[in-house]
Chains A and B, each alone.
Chain A
Amino acid sequence: MNPLRSVGRVFLEASETVGGITLVMWQILKAMLPPRFDRDETWLNLYRVGVKSYPIVIMTSVFTGAIMVIQSGQYVKATGATGLLGWGAGYAVLAEIGPVLIGLMFSGRVGANNTAELGTMRVTEQIDALRALAIDPMLHLVVPRFVSMVSMLLLLTALGDLFALVGGALTSQFILEVDWRVFFQGVIGSSLLDEYLTGLTKGVVFGASISVVSCYYGLGVSGGAAGVGRAVNNCVVTSAIGIFVWDYLITYIVNAL
């Protein structure tokens, strides 16, 4: 096949996806003005998205914090600058690694599940049934998921940050034999509030990105069970790309300010 044609096709497909995702985002914003919620569906989603995700977020975060400490440990030990251990791990975890890894775990668990659920509803005509029953699928299905994912990824990022620091402190104490109080003094003394807020902002943006992408692929499913599988696959890949693109943009903007 003509390589130019292949490149053109990929470009057109990417444009179609970005355009479709933007349209879904626009429809969600329109549906939320004035703010209207399906309260039961929102509570249900907050539970499924948030409460059921915290074990994997804690696991990911504890090990992320521990890895950061182990990685920087050899240099800290060599130089004797143990006070930098908390700063190094805290800086990397709060601003960058924490939100990104939690976002990726979240997209794999919640985003993929959301696409599969909406996709199955689509191929079994349940979404058409909602419309036929005078119920707007955007208000009943999509907005509660959007609200839940955004708010819960913010909270999960905050929770993950805390557990990452706990993981770092434990590793510092028991593996590097650097007192955990020294570790936390390093974190607190380095004024990492900006990094912490940047990380939380990333959590909100990643949550919005994952929810819109997963709803876009879920609502657009065609072709039965195979179509649902393809949509889930596309959702995971696009969500991951979205996380890195948004991470780059936010980091760039924050550093430019």
Chain B
Amino acid sequence: MKKLIALAALAVVFAGQSASAQTLKTVKDRGMLNCGSNGTLAGFGLPDAQGKWTGLDVDYCKALAAAVLGDPNKVKFVPLSAKDRFTALQSGEVDVLARNTTWTSSRDTSLGLNFVGVNYYDGQGFMVRKALKVNSALELNGASVCVQQGTTTELNLSDFFRAHNMQVKTVTFATANEAVKAYDAGRCDAYTTDASGLYAERLRLAVADDHIVLPEVISKEPLGPAVRHGDDQWFDIAKWTLFALVNAEELGMTQKNVDEMLKSTNPDVKRLVGTEGNYGEQLGLSKDWAVQIVKAVGNYGEVFDRNVGANSPLKIDRGLNKLWNKGGVVYAPPVR
């Protein structure tokens, strides 16, 4: 009987354990940030041969770890496929999802996600073989298109062909890898995903020069990190990590000059680096949270250039992703 009571008590403890709202405390106790990321997309999230992760989304997670734990290396990257990513975040397997994920209304509401902002303004495009002599996506009537499952891409594709009264044969794969491989093997005439992804995947094809990216961008794809509903403090921290990266670029703070910035007299800079006010403490972090972020990965511009921009193999033009005062739409609320 005693055994039974012990078992029942154990059952109560086990079943009563619910997903904690205290993500910050959980992460600090664990000493490690679990970051859901893309494991196969160059420029956004990809481990190299030594298991070192690089990418725009990877750097966001490193920045978050630097802000929360003071060490950008205390991140465990969990590679997720497009279709499994939301379940992983909902169930608490990861603390934050930074996996080139499009911000949409249904994901923000019924999927139980909170998008913290946009770290890359993207749009969906098509890649085809040069030999097909197709110059526009509008000529793709009747084509087979390979696409990755569980993406906004899958839905936009269907909308685009219907809107232009064209037929399409969709072949859906569970991962981008499989979709690209099938496209490369000739299963489909076109491969579609976000434009940034097209440039990255094109470089991985057998003969990259045999393929072109069509000029049409058929959708808005604001990509951003997301956290779970129900933990406002963690949501704030995730949001302001992204804003700190953008504000740092705007204020001219870089990985190199961050220590000099501590002596700055500019009140905007002083508030960001924590020499004035207690803005870090308000977030539940240390005073120098933004300094930790910039020391770890640099500002938004540096992160962009290193992973997808001028200093990367992808060489994607910053376009919309320039700061608001340089002709783009990247904008962050002020620290004050």
A and B interact: no
**Chain A residues with a Cβ under 8 A of chain B:** none
Binding site for A on B (CB under 8 A): none
